[in-house]
Every structure is written in structure tokens, then in C-alpha cells.
């Protein structure tokens, strides 16, 4: 790697990888990136939902479509609030010790405004005002936006209304908190917005694709790169694509019905007595939708409720979120990714692994994190058309792509 090198990091879910993601990578290359590191969530993702396809398939699609290396964002951060999601992703990029920039998409064309919003949400007075506004029963996001509006004006507060803007702000905030030398780079999103139900000739949101193209190969092919489509088609044929919530609903309900109030209290993101609403809802409901409807209020969003429920299902408790990621796990890489790995061997502050079994042998938090990840993958697999046997995380092969 003797030529001028610029390594850019992207934190993503690729659920699934689509044309908008390829556009983001292309624009990141246009900004001078020679190598791209993607940090990607595994079996369960930020909004408390299962990934539509297994992580190894999504990682392979990302590598085929422009990423050079994909590393896994551990479950406690992948299935968490925007703040914790960003914390874990930025922490891993920092830990590589060789990443120059973090590239993210947003609805804002102004990096300066995103930075000002990040500074605002870290302001002590705004943080205090946010806590006061929470007492009115609104969500944290709404309280924070109102506090920023009161102190910094509607222009900056408006930045926080978009999910992708919010994540961009969280990335910048984490760069500041972690005293990172990584530089933020903003890519204005093109065509379909996050979770949009609208489409264009080539672009649709991942949400639209999951909901409308999951069982229609011709529809799916409109919105994903051909290289990804080849991988997805094989996965569909093998029964390893498109997770079904209905297949695992009874299993999730069974776990919830065995939990005591103290068990629920130990889950992530439990506060303000929400455990009592959950405990009551579980005992008076016969479906997950019914449980969610009984818990939901203006303050408790569906995403938060889903995260708590799926945390219960996979055995994720609140203690994990208090620890930083203990390792760097590689899910896939190509020849340029191998160059990044060779450089990171000299600069990384965490050990780098391609084998889950080797992570488990490290003991301590490495062992507990990877066993949680493996358990989540085993339970996730039950929602696929053809489930895997237990232990697929430990048998997953990670080889260099061409």
C-alpha cells in the first residue's frame, strides 16, 4: 500500500444491499476513497427487526458491489438506539487505526449544519432541557428536537427530523466523543428516502424492497445491482433469503411468557416503568402485534418496543451495552480488503478475527459477545424458509473474494 491511500468507513445494514447503497459507495470513491470498510449489523438490526437475509449473504453482496471489507457490528449495538448503533460503528472504525474518513448518507446537503446539530445535542443545557421535556410523555427524539429548536432555532432542529440525518448527527457526535481523527463526509441521498414507500426507475428504499419485492424476483431485480441479484437469486433458491416473522412468532411468545418482571427489567432500554406495561401485555395477548399495540404510547415507539422484545428472544440484556466492542470480526473481504487487513495488523487496537471459534477462545467479553451473536444467529435461522442447524456462526467460512 505504497500509493496514496484513503480508507473510508461506512456504517450500514444492507438489508438488502440495493442501488442506493451502490450509489453511496460510488460517491465515496469519487471523494477519493481507495479502500472501503463497511461495518454491518448481523442477524438482528437497529429497529428491532430480523435481517431479510443472513449476514454472510448481505456481506457477499456488499463486497461484490464495491465494498472491500465487511466487519460485523456486534448485536448489542446493531440492535440498539441510533446513539448506541453509531457508538459501536465508530468505535470499530477507530479501532482499526487506519481509517481516514467515515462516509454517510443524509437528506441534508450541508455537512456544516450536521456538525452544528451534533454540537447542539451535546450541549449541557440542551441535554437538561431534553430531560425536562421527556416528562411531558413525548419520545426522546421529539424532546431532543424541541430542546434544540428552543436553543438553536428551527433550521438546526429540522436536521433531526430525518432518520438518516439523525444517524449522520450521531456519527459526528461519536467522532467528537471518541476524540477521533476520522473525518466525516456527507453524501446527499439520491432518490428514495429512508423507509420511503416511493420508488424511481432504479431506486427504492430497503424497506420498500423488503415489503414489496421479497417474493417477486423481477421486482427485486429492478432495484438491486446485477452482482447482488446473482447472490440473492442463489440464496432464494437455497431457502436462505427473506426471513418471516410469522415463522418465529410462537418461539418469541414462548420466551416472553416465561419471563418474570425482574427478567424484563434486565433487558436493554428499560426505563420509566415500561417493564410493567410489557409484563401485563404479554399476559393478556396472543400475538406480537397485540403486545406491541398494548405497550405503545407517544413515548414508547414501536422500534423501541420491538428491540426490547427481540432482545428478550435472543437473550440480550442491558449489561452488554455498557461494554465497548471487544473484537473486530471480518465477514468478507476482497484483495483490497486484504490490504486494509495487512495495514490494520500494525495499527488496530483490537484483535481482528475471521473465525468465531477463535474469538470464543479468547475468553472474557470476547467469548460472551460471540456466544450471544451465535445464539442470535441460531434463533434467526428459524425464520428462514430452510433453517440452518445450530452453530452456523462457528462454521461460517470467510475467504477472500477476487
Q: Is 376 within the bounds of a domain?
A: yes
Mark whether 306 and 223 lie in a shared domain: no
**pLDDT of 189:** 79
Torsion angle, alpha carbons of 73, 126, 172, 207, to 10:
50
**pLDDT of 297:** 87
Mark whether 380 and 305 lie in a shared domain: no
Are 395 and 355 spatial neighbours (Cβ–Cβ below 8 Å)?
no
Mark whether 386 and 271 lie in a shared domain: no
Alpha helices, DSSP H, located in 163-265:
163-177, 206-212, 217-223, 226-237, 245-257, 261-265
Q: Is 160 within the bounds of a domain?
A: no
Indicate the helix (H) or strand (E) that contains 108. none
Domain boundary among 320, 340, 367: 320
Q: What is the pLDDT along the chain (402 residues), one digit of tens a residue?
A: 456 899 999 999 999 999 999 999 999 999 999 999 999 999 999 999 999 999 999 999 999 999 999 999 999 999 999 999 999 999 999 999 999 999 999 999 899 999 999 999 999 999 999 999 998 888 888 999 999 999 999 999 999 988 889 999 999 999 999 999 999 999 987 654 444 445 555 788 888 898 876 677 888 899 999 999 999 999 999 999 999 999 999 999 999 999 999 999 999 999 889 999 999 999 999 999 999 999 998 889 999 999 999 999 999 999 998 899 999 999 999 999 999 999 999 999 999 999 999 999 999 999 999 999 999 999 999 999 999 999 999 999 898 886
Mark whether 194 and 304 lie in a shared domain: no
**pLDDT of 1:** 47
- Cα gap 193→207, rounded to integer Å: 10
**pLDDT of 194:** 47
Mark whether 63 and 192 lie in a shared domain: yes
Mark whether 103 and 249 lie in a shared domain: no
How many structural domains is the chain composed of? 2
Domain range enclosing 266:
245-320
Looking up residue 96, the CATH number of its domain turns out to be 3.40.50
Q: pTM of the predicted model, to two decimals?
A: 0.94
Query: CA 218 from chain center: how many Å?
Result: 27
Are 35 and 7 spatial neighbours (Cβ–Cβ below 8 Å)?
yes
Q: Is 123 within the bounds of a domain?
A: no
Mark whether 90 and 205 lie in a shared domain: yes
Mark whether 381 and 346 lie in a shared domain: yes
Domain boundary among 320, 344, 359: 320
**pLDDT of 370:** 99
∠ CA 106-108-112, rounded to 5°: 110
Q: Is 134 within the bounds of a domain?
A: no
Mark whether 98 and 198 lie in a shared domain: yes
Are 34 and 6 spatial neighbours (Cβ–Cβ below 8 Å)?
yes
Mark whether 294 and 354 lie in a shared domain: no
Amino acid at each position: 500500500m505504497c500509493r496514496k491511500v484513503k480508507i473510508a468507513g461506512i456504517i450500514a445494514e444492507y438489508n438488502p444491499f440495493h442501488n442506493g447503497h451502490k450509489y453511496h459507495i460510488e460517491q465515496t470513491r469519487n471523494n477519493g476513497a481507495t479502500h472501503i470498510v463497511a461495518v454491518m449489523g448481523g442477524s438482528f438490526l437497529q429497529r428491532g427487526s430480523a435481517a431479510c437475509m443472513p449476514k454472510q449473504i448481505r456481506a457477499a453482496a456488499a463486497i461484490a458491489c464495491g465494498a472491500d471489507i465487511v466487519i460485523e457490528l456486534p448485536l448489542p449495538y446493531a440492535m440498539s438506539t441510533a446513539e448506541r448503533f453509531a457508538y459501536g460503528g465508530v468505535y470499530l472504525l477507530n479501532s482499526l487505526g487506519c481509517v481516514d474518513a467515515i462516509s454517510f448518507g443524509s437528506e441534508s446537503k450541508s455537512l456544516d449544519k450536521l456538525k452544528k446539530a451534533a454540537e447542539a445535542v451535546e450541549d449541557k443545557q440542551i441535554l437538561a432541557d431534553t430531560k425536562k421535556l421527556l416528562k411531558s410523555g413525548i419520545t426522546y427524539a421529539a424532546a431532543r428536537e424541541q430542546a434544540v429548536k428552543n436553543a438553536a432555532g428551527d433550521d438546526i432542529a429540522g436536521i433531526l427530523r430525518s432518520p438518516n440525518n439523525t444517524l449522520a448527527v450521531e456519527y459526528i457526535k461519536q467522532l467528537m466523543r471518541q476524540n477521533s481523527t476520522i473525518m466525516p463526509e456527507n453524501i446527499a441521498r439520491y432518490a428514495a428516502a429512508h423507509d420511503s414507500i416511493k420508488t424511481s426507475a432504479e431506486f427504492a428504499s430497503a424497506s420498500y424492497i423488503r415489503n414489496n419485492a421479497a417474493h417477486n424476483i423481477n421486482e427485486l431485480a429492478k432495484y438491486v445491482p446485477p452482482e447482488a441479484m446473482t447472490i440473492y437469486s442463489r440464496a432464494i433458491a437455497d431457502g436462505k433469503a427473506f426471513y418471516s416473522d410469522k415463522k418465529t412468532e410462537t418461539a418469541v411468545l414462548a420466551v416472553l411468557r416465561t419471563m418474570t418482571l425482574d427478567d424484563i427489567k434486565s433487558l436493554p432500554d428499560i426505563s420509566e416503568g415500561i417493564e410493567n406495561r410489557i409484563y401485563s401485555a404479554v399476559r393478556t395477548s396472543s400475538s406480537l402485534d397485540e403486545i406491541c399495540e398494548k405497550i405503545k404510547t407517544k413515548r414508547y415507539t414501536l422500534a423501541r418496543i420491538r428491540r426490547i422484545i427481540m432482545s428478550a428472544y435472543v437473550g440480550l440484556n442491558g449489561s452488554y451495552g455498557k461494554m465497548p466492542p471487544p473484537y473486530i470480526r471480518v465477514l468478507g473481504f476482497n484483495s483490497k480488503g486484504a490490504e486494509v487487513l495487512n495495514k490494520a495488523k500494525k495499527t488496530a487496537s483490537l484483535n481482528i478475527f475471521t473465525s468465531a471459534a477463535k474469538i470464543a477462545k479468547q475468553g472474557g467479553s470476547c467469548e460472551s459477545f460471540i456466544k450471544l451473536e451465535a445464539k442470535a444467529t441460531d434463533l434467526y435461522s428459524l425464520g428462514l424458509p430452510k433453517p440452518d442447524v445450530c452453530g452456523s456462526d462457528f462454521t461460517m467460512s470467510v475467504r477472500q473474494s477476487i
